[in-house]
Amino acid sequence: MLIEALRMALRSIWANKLRSILTTLGIIIGVAAVIGVVSIVQGLNFWISSQLQGVGATYIMVVPRQDPNDPDVAGREVKLTFEDGQSILERVPEIMTFTPLYYQGERVRLRDRSTTPFLLGVGASYQEVTNHMVEDGRFFSDIDSRSHAKVCLVGAKVIEDLRLGDHPLGRDIVIGSRTFTIIGVMEKKGEFLGQNRDSMVIIPFSTAREIYGDMAMRQIRLDFKARAPEQVDRAKEMMTAVLRERHGLKGSTSDDFQILLQEEILKTTSTILGAVTQVVGAVVGIALLVGGIGIMNIMLVSVTERTREIGVRKAVGARRTDVLLQFLIEAITLSAIGGAIGVLAGWGLGVLGAKAIPGFPAAHVPMWAVLLAFGFSSAVGIFFGIYPAAKAAALDPIESLRYE
């Protein structure tokens, strides 16, 4: 019976192709929108997760906390310095090493060619902490840091912009107004949201401090590496105590810094992206509701058109449940076909949308989204198909045979 009812449903849909397409248009648009948004959001979430997992579970980041709504930090200068990081390294045994990060845009020149990459002033442990390695040449050493050496490492985009060629090591470039010697090339990181992350120049933090002054180094970022993943929570507690003491924060005064663990960054990102998906899903739910009403209307029309057919079926022995099942399966089939087309269209929209934004991660369609789309579209078919199916099943066979 189920197979025969499915065949009849498909024959009816095929016999009225244009009407069926228009009927399922709301379902197609709704499902396509959901899948498109989910694929883009999940692609971004997947990329962020892979990047954070790349630095390892021992990664800890400390940034200055700015909150205009918090009277403890609003209206005053928030400081986070190299000395803060050095004190944590000395007083928190769970911390293995750290690197300060000072960053700003800076003009870089080579003869008549110039570019404006991000300038990073970092410590000698930068590679170990952030897992961003040198591809060619070497990273600077503690000796370079102590001597405030005018050495630098460059990204692939800087090499391209300045046309440094295949052998940039040992060449001199002008950063700001000072000449630096290239000692290494960093591994490629690619684009992200239109920003080329290979457009970067790295110099020793001590050199950056000498050039830009102590005032510029009062709001830097501090990246730490714990000795083991199971020690990061304990390290965070002790780091908080050290920084509160150094910053003179007492009692219930709010922290003027923020300590972020890999797990917390992932959780925050997932929460934000999940909220975006929920909002879009709620809006798109209206399209699915409209699509469901369209299915109910067209099924009611179908019941009216096929009244005599229903009478004949009942006259030859069809039960009410048989007729109910026939029309219900037809409604579900319409919704499922709309859902399938919507999934394919949504996947295509997600891929095109991700490619349209320079440096955006590739779209990623999780299986749960596909199953949810199919399940929801089928549920719409069941919900809005029950009334027309019940109306068809309740028809009197004698009256149905007389219907013109």
Beta-carbon contacts of 246 under 8 Å, excluding residues fewer than 6 positions away, are 83, 84, 87
Do 230 and 303 reside in the same domain of the chain? no
- CA-based radius of gyration for the chain: 32
Least confident interval from 63-77, 160-174, 281-295: 281-295
Q: Once rounded to an integer, what is the mean pLDDT over residues 20-44?
A: 78
Domain-located, residue 61:
no
Do 244 and 103 reside in the same domain of the chain? yes
**Per-residue model confidence (pLDDT) at position 404:** 52
Do 107 and 47 reside in the same domain of the chain? no
Do 122 and 207 reside in the same domain of the chain? yes
Taking only the tens place, the pLDDT of each residue in 367-387 is 777 777 777 777 777 777 777
* Burial category of 394 from C-beta neighbours within 10 Å (exposed 0-12, middle 13-18, buried 19 and up): exposed
Do 126 and 274 reside in the same domain of the chain? no
Do 135 and 39 reside in the same domain of the chain? no
Top pLDDT among 311 and 109 is at: 109
Residue 5: pLDDT band by 50, 70, 90 thresholds? low
Q: Once rounded to an integer, what is the mean pLDDT over residues 225-246?
A: 90
Domain-located, residue 59:
no
Q: Decide which of 220, 255, 290 is a domain's last residue.
A: 255
Do 277 and 240 reside in the same domain of the chain? no
Domain-located, residue 70:
yes
* Identity at 336, one-letter amino acid code: A
Using a pLDDT cut of 90, give the percent of the chain over it: 25
Do 227 and 85 reside in the same domain of the chain? yes
Domain-located, residue 10:
yes
Give the phi and the psi of residue 98 in degrees, each rounded to 5: -155, 165
Mean pLDDT over the full length of the chain? 81
Q: Once rounded to an integer, what is the mean pLDDT over residues 224-243?
A: 90
Residue 123: pLDDT band by 50, 70, 90 thresholds? very high
Top pLDDT among 107 and 330 is at: 107
Cβ proximity of 171 and 181 under 8 Å: yes
Q: DSSP string of 270-302?
A: HHHHHHHHHHHHHHHHHHHHHHHHHHHHHHHHH
**Per-residue model confidence (pLDDT) at position 228:** 87
Q: Once rounded to an integer, what is the mean pLDDT over residues 150-163?
A: 92
> How far, rounded to the nearest angstrom, does the alpha carbon of residue 220 sit from its chain's CA centroid?
26
Domain-located, residue 260:
no
**Per-residue model confidence (pLDDT) at position 83:** 92
Residue 48: pLDDT band by 50, 70, 90 thresholds? confident
Q: Is the pLDDT of residue 400 over 60?
A: no
Domain-located, residue 204:
yes
Q: Is the pLDDT of residue 30 over 60?
A: yes
Please provide the size of the chain in residues.
404
* Burial category of 286 from C-beta neighbours within 10 Å (exposed 0-12, middle 13-18, buried 19 and up): exposed
Top pLDDT among 322 and 52 is at: 322
Q: Decide which of 255, 289, 310 is a domain's last residue.
A: 255
Do 208 and 357 reside in the same domain of the chain? no
Tally the domains of the chain: 2
**Per-residue model confidence (pLDDT) at position 55:** 63
Q: Once rounded to an integer, what is the mean pLDDT over residues 102-107?
A: 90
DSSP SS3 for 315: helix
Domain-located, residue 397:
yes
**Per-residue model confidence (pLDDT) at position 134:** 92
* Identity at 147, one-letter amino acid code: S
Top pLDDT among 107 and 27 is at: 107
Please tell me the distance from the alpha carbon of residue 108 to that of residue 129, in angstroms, as a whole number: 26
Taking only the tens place, the pLDDT of each residue in 184-231 is 999 988 776 657 788 999 999 999 999 998 888 888 999 999 888 888
Q: Once rounded to an integer, what is the mean pLDDT over residues 268-278?
A: 73
Do 121 and 233 reside in the same domain of the chain? yes
Q: Once rounded to an integer, what is the mean pLDDT over residues 19-25?
A: 75
Domain-located, residue 186:
yes
* Identity at 293, one-letter amino acid code: I
Q: Decide which of 255, 287, 319 is a domain's last residue.
A: 255
Do 155 and 251 reside in the same domain of the chain? yes
Domain enclosing residue 211, as ranges? 66-255
Do 130 and 16 reside in the same domain of the chain? no
